[in-house]
Chain A
Amino acid sequence: MRFTVYRKPDGGRQAALVEPDEVRPLAGSLTDLLAAPGGSRGPVQPQLGAPLPAGLPTVPPVQPLVVVAPGPRPDPALPEQAIRLAGHREFYLKSGHTVIGAEDAIPYRDALGALSYRAQLGLIFRPTNRHTPAAAILDRLAAVVLAAEVYSVDLLRVGWEGTMWHVRYGEGASFDGACPIGPLLVTADELLGAEVRLTDGAGDAAIEWPDVAEFAAYVNEWMELGPSVLVLAGSRHGPVMTLEGADPVIRFPSGEPALGPSDVVRASSSALGEVAAPVGKPLIVAR
């Protein structure tokens, strides 16, 4: 099943089932539907109303409390020993408030510098205890959504504190509008195991489901999953963690898009729809 959520003229939200020839409103919220023990395939069946008119604006189909994303992949050109160091899988958090709708504007700030992004699968799980193995984690997947993970090319950097370093994910990837998602939310049964391709400004790639499962299981070692946690599954052609001499650095692919005000973050998938989020004008300083 495919769902979306509309912004009603009174500012409220209306979840809806998207069918080939019509869109019908749901009686409840998508979050309630996904949190049910069987998810959208289980005992809870959507209660549908009369068809909705076309052209209503959409909002994010889910509003998670937190977004969990994978850090940069290790540079495959590194020697094996360096890959061992650079290649530790890492996850980082983005605020749930970075999530915006597929066509919402990303509020630009001068402090962000140049922006770039990658299309990723956004995973929404049914309530899931920790330590689910990779072989079983996708059985708990309720639905997926298209996400454009936006980051600052200028700020997503390694920061040093004497002998210790970290990647500056806060400034570099958790700013307003840094996670446009939607417009559709598609139940897992429609997609699991199928070829799903994602396209963004850097290219086109098929989803590798074993990689998706492995990362989700990794995150699940730490936290219980459910509709309040949106897991981004990563991209095969994003920035990489590499070395300059002995120092870790993030390297962006050549030709990395560098977006600013009036540019548009575009990602698409035939299975999941299109994100087309314009980068907005700079914010005015409040005080």
Chain B
Amino acid sequence: MRLLTYETAPGARVGVLRGERVVELALGYGRIGRPAPGSLDELIAGGEEAWTTARRAVEVLAPEDGVPLDGLRLAPPFIPRTIICGGANFADHLDETHREKPDHVEFFLKSPTGVVGAGTDVRMDRALSTKYDYEVELGIVIGRPARNVMREAALDYVCGYTIINDVSIRDRQVIPWDPGRYQLRFGEGKSYRDSAPLGPWLVTADELPDVSTLGLRTRVSGQLRQNNSMRNIIWDVPALISYYSTYMTLEPGFLIAAGTPGGPALGSDVELGADPYERRDGVVRGAYVPDGALVECEIDGIGVLANRYVVAD
């Protein structure tokens, strides 16, 4: 299933994508005589029983029941209860920022208060930063409470996947320390207004049984800026879930951002320690996102998360 949330005049609705049409999920619940969840958050929190009912509800829906996807205003599919980020997870991103593979999974948090949906503008506050960047990342959605999970069982705790653009303001994140060395501040660099575009929808795990080979790309106003594959991730999805669950219980509705490959503008920013080596994969080295640029984050099997960056107070 591909589940999304869209805005209507009376309020947000949960829909299921059928081809190029969106059918309101509540219609299916009505047909099977069950109460519909008020949001995708509620469905995720309901666990396996809720997912079983959701599948039954979707089975009785037809594309003709829906409306065209084009023209709908999408909201974030859900608001993650916590966003855990796994940075430093692709070798080409480490290389371009003069970093070495750390001996542990990187673990920092991003505020869910910055989540916006596909199609919503990312408002750039020039008083805060002149270096707004992009990072395409696989979003892993937790469906069952996970604590001290072994790597081999980790995927059992995933209910779906989505795309997150880990918007980063580099002049607040990467702080020159002494010559050639830098402090990374994930609080200031990663959490602010509109810093977490999410979507366009959640793809349930049964539709994506193997995410380990998915391609990831970012285009800025049509220019290819990131282009890699989950094949090249350092700590894969099971390893991330296992690591984080060692320290905190991953609850339904938690989102893990799996890390981004090389190609963000930071990788070309010599002032902040970058080594913008020439790439041979079609990726164009470029500057930070300019006013009005459309940033499209794409992951195979999921879709495209597109947001325009605009300067705003």
Is A98 located at the chain interface by the 8 A CB criterion? yes
Is B280 located at the chain interface by the 8 A CB criterion? no
- Contact (Cβ within 8 A) A164 B273: yes
Question: Which residues from A are CB-within-8-Å of B233?
Answer: none
Alpha-carbon distance A281/B82, docked complex (angstroms): 25
Alpha-carbon distance A160/B111, docked complex (angstroms): 23
Q: Offer 25 A-B interface pairs, CB within 8 angstroms, sorted by A.
A: A65-B111, A66-B109, A66-B112, A68-B187, A90-B188, A91-B187, A93-B191, A97-B81, A97-B251, A130-B193, A161-B184, A163-B273, A164-B183, A166-B183, A166-B186, A170-B84, A176-B248, A176-B249, A222-B191, A223-B192, A229-B111, A248-B177, A248-B183, A285-B150, A286-B149
Which one, A88, A161, A287, contacts B149 given CB within 8 A? A287
Question: Which residues from A are CB-within-8-Å of B81?
Answer: 65, 95-97
Q: How large is the interface on B (under 10, 10 to 19, 20 to 34, 35 or more residues)?
A: 35 or more
Is A228 located at the chain interface by the 8 A CB criterion? yes
Contact mask for chain B residues 61-72; partner A; CB cutoff 8 A; 1 contact, 0 none? 000000000000
Question: Which residues from A are CB-within-8-Å of B249?
Answer: 97, 107, 176
Q: How many residues of A contact B (CB 8 A)?
A: 49
Residues from 231 to 287 in A contacting B, C-beta threshold 8 Å: 246, 248, 283-287
Closest residue of chain B to A66 (Cβ to Cβ) is B111
Question: Which residues from A are CB-within-8-Å of B104?
Answer: 159, 168, 171
Question: Which residues from B are CB-within-8-Å of A95?
Answer: 81-82, 84, 109, 248
Listed in ascending order, the chain A residues whose CB lies under 8 Å from chain B are 65-66, 68, 71, 85, 88, 90-98, 107, 109, 111-112, 130-131, 159-166, 168-171, 174-176, 221-224, 228-229, 246, 248, 283-287
Question: Which residues from B are CB-within-8-Å of A93?
Answer: 108-111, 187, 191
Question: Which residues from A are CB-within-8-Å of B244?
Answer: 170
Which one, B98, B111, B114, contacts A163 given CB within 8 A? B98
Is B9 located at the chain interface by the 8 A CB criterion? no
Is B99 located at the chain interface by the 8 A CB criterion? yes
Q: With contacts A66-B112, A162-B94 known, is A111 near B246, CB below 8 A?
A: yes
- Contact (Cβ within 8 A) A222 B188: yes
Is B19 located at the chain interface by the 8 A CB criterion? no
- Contact (Cβ within 8 A) A164 B113: no
Listed from nearest, the 4 A-B pairs whose CB atoms lie closest are: A170-B107, A162-B100, A166-B184, A93-B109
* B116 → A minimal CB distance (Å): 13
Question: Which residues from A are CB-within-8-Å of B273?
Answer: 163-164
Alpha-carbon distance A68/B187, docked complex (angstroms): 9
Alpha-carbon distance A95/B101, docked complex (angstroms): 26
- Contact (Cβ within 8 A) A161 B113: no
- Contact (Cβ within 8 A) B178 A85: yes
Residues from 147 to 198 in B contacting A, C-beta threshold 8 Å: 147-150, 153, 174-175, 177-178, 180-188, 191-193
Q: With contacts A97-B81, A97-B248, A223-B113 known, is A161 near B88, CB below 8 A?
A: yes
Alpha-carbon distance A88/B111, docked complex (angstroms): 21
- Contact (Cβ within 8 A) B107 A91: no
Residues from 7 to 64 in B contacting A, C-beta threshold 8 Å: none
Is B102 located at the chain interface by the 8 A CB criterion? yes
- Contact (Cβ within 8 A) A163 B148: no
Residues from 85 to 99 in B contacting A, C-beta threshold 8 Å: 88, 94, 97-99
- Contact (Cβ within 8 A) B185 A164: no
- Contact (Cβ within 8 A) A131 B149: no
Question: Which residues from A are CB-within-8-Å of B99?
Answer: 161-164
Is B128 located at the chain interface by the 8 A CB criterion? yes
Question: Which residues from B are CB-within-8-Å of A94?
Answer: 109
* B297 → A minimal CB distance (Å): 22
- Contact (Cβ within 8 A) B102 A161: yes
Which one, A131, A169, A224, A284, contacts B127 given CB within 8 A? A131
Question: Which residues from B are CB-within-8-Å of A91?
Answer: 187-188
* B254 → A minimal CB distance (Å): 8
Question: Which residues from A are CB-within-8-Å of B180?
Answer: 163
- Contact (Cβ within 8 A) B113 A224: yes
- Contact (Cβ within 8 A) A287 B108: no
Q: With contacts A92-B186, A97-B251 known, is A164 near B181, CB below 8 A?
A: yes
* B158 → A minimal CB distance (Å): 14
Which of A109, A170, A228: most chain B Cβ within 10 A? Answer: A170
